[in-house]
Amino acid sequence: MHSPELLARIAAAKRVVSAQADVLIAGFGKTESNWKGDGSRVTPVDIAISEAIQAAIEGEFPGDQFFSEELTRADAPIPVTSRFCWVLDPIDGTNNFALGIPYCAISLALLEDGMPVYGVVYDYARRCLMHGGPAFGCFDNDKPVKVKSSPVDHQSLLGFHSPHEKRYASDAAILIERFKIRGLGSSTLHLAYVAAGLFDGTVDHNVKVWDIAASVALCLGAGGELRYLNTELFPLRVFDLKQARIRYYAGGAPMCAALAELLPE
Q: How far apart are CA 224 and CA 191, in angstroms?
A: 10
Domain residues for the domain of 59 are 4-144
- For 151, residues 6+ apart whose C-beta sits below 8 A from its C-beta are 254
Nearest Cα to 22, choosing from 117, 145, 122?
A: 122
Specify whether 24 is located in the same domain as 133: yes
Specify whether 44 is located in the same domain as 133: yes
Domain's final residue, options 90, 116, 144 = 144
pLDDT for 265: 67
Specify whether 102 is located in the same domain as 69: yes
Q: How far apart are CA 210 and CA 241, in angstroms?
A: 9
pLDDT for 227: 96
Specify whether 133 is located in the same domain as 223: no
Q: Does 128 reside within a domain?
A: yes
CA angle at residue 249 from 258 to 110, to 5 degrees?
Answer: 140
Specify whether 72 is located in the same domain as 191: no
Domain's final residue, options 87, 112, 144 = 144
Q: Does 152 reside within a domain?
A: no
Q: Does 150 reside within a domain?
A: no
Specify whether 120 is located in the same domain as 165: no
- Mean pLDDT, the chain, as a whole number? 93
The enclosing H or E element of 203 equals strand 201-207
Specify whether 48 is located in the same domain as 127: yes
Q: How far apart are CA 173 and CA 169, in angstroms?
A: 7
Q: Which CATH number belongs to the domain containing residue 132 in this structure?
A: 3.30.540.10
Q: Does 107 reside within a domain?
A: yes
Specify whether 103 is located in the same domain as 170: no
Specify whether 53 is located in the same domain as 102: yes
Q: Which residues of the chain have pLDDT under 70?
A: 32-41, 71-74, 265
Nearest Cα to 80, choosing from 110, 118, 50, 48?
A: 110
Q: Which CATH number belongs to the domain containing residue 192 in this structure?
A: 3.40.190.80
Specify whether 137 is located in the same domain as 15: yes
Q: Does 151 reside within a domain?
A: no
pLDDT for 170: 87
- For 125, residues 6+ apart whose C-beta sits below 8 A from its C-beta are 102, 103, 104, 189
Chain segment 35-66, per-residue pLDDT in tens: 565 656 678 899 999 999 999 999 999 999 99
Specify whether 197 is located in the same domain as 161: yes
Q: Does 10 reside within a domain?
A: yes
Distance of CA 190 to the CA centre of its chain: 8
Chain segment 127-151, per-residue pLDDT in tens: 999 999 999 999 999 999 999 999 9
pLDDT for 75: 74
Q: For the chain, how many structural domains are there in total?
A: 2
Specify whether 38 is located in the same domain as 116: yes
| Beta pairing partners, 38 | none
CA angle at residue 194 from 167 to 130, to 5 degrees?
Answer: 125
Q: How far apart are CA 133 and CA 85, in angstroms?
A: 15
Q: Does 34 reside within a domain?
A: yes
- Rg of the chain over Cα atoms, rounded to whole angstroms, equals 17
Q: Does 87 reside within a domain?
A: yes
Provide the 10 A C-beta neighbour count for residue 133. 27
Domain's final residue, options 144, 172, 199 = 144
Alpha helix segments (H runs only) across the chain: 4-27, 44-60, 94-99, 169-178, 187-195, 209-221, 253-262
